[in-house]
C-alpha cells in the first residue's frame, strides 16, 4: 500500500545502535524526519548521512528529530555512526518490516541483492501525520534537503 501525505505514519519499533528499542511514538510532539537509506558505508549513503549531520543544528532548531533506517545490522550501523560522528538515531530494519510498511524496499538492488531500502524521506508533524514523502528509485540520488527544510519551516510557522 502506498502512503500519502495527510495519512498517519505507520507505527514501528526497531533497535538503535545502543541496542535500545525505539518506537515512532517515542517522538510524539516533535516533527520527525525518517530517512531510509540503502546501505551503511556506501558512497551516497555516507554523503547523505554526513550532510544531515552537517545540518543537524538547523534540524534541531526546526524541532525535528532525525531517524535513519537501513536494513543493515545494528552492529554495522553502530560502526557507521561512530566513524562519521552521527548525532541522531540509526535504526536497524534487518527484517525489512518497516521498509515494507513504508513501501520503500527495492525488490532487486545492485549485485542481485534483494530487500534493500530505497533512499526515502518521510517528514511527520508533531501528531505523526505524514507531511512530506520522497521515495527515490535511483540509489545514486540524494534527498531534496531544501524541500525537507521548507516542509519543517511550514510545520513550525
Query: Would you please indicate which residues are annotated as catalytic (active-site) residues?
Result: 45
Q: Are 133 and 39 in contact (CB under 8 A)?
A: no
- For residue 130, what is its C-alpha cell? 505524514
Which residues lie across from 69 on neighbouring strands?
A: 36, 91
Contacts with 47 (C-beta within 8 Å, 6 or more apart), sequence order: 142
Alpha carbon distance 118, 51 (integer Å): 18
Residue pair 104/118 in contact (Cβ under 8 Å)? The answer is: yes
Residues 6+ apart with CB under 8 A from 125: 31, 131, 155
Amino acid at each position: 500500500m502506498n502512503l500519502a501525505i495527510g495519512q498517519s505514519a505507520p507505527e514501528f519499533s526497531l533497535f538503535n545502535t545502543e541496542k535500545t528499542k525505539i518506537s515512532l511514538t517515542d517522538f510524539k510532539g516533535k516533527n520527525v524526519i525518517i530517512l531510509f537509506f540503502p546501505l551503511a558505508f556506501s558512497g551516497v549513503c555516507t554523503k547523505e548521512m554526513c550532510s544531515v549531520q552537517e545540518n543537524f543544528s538547523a534540524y534541531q532548531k526546526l524541532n525535528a528529530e532525525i531517524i535513519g533506517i537501513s536494513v543493515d545490522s545494528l552492529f554495522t550501523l553502530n560502526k557507521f555512526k561512530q566513524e562519521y560522528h552521527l548525532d541522531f538515531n540509526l535504526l536497524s530494519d534487518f527484517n525489512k518490516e518497516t521498509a515494507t510498511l513504508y513501501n520503500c524496499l527495492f525488490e532487486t538492488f545492485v549485485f542481485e541483492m534483494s530487500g534493500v531500502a530505497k533512499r526515502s524521506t518521510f517528514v511527520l508533524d508533531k501528531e505523526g501525520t505524514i507531511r512530506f514523502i520522497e521515495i527515490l528509485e535511483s540509489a545514486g540520488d540524494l534527498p531534496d534537503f531544501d524541500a525537507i527544510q521548507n516542509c519543517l519551516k511550514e510545520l513550525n510557522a
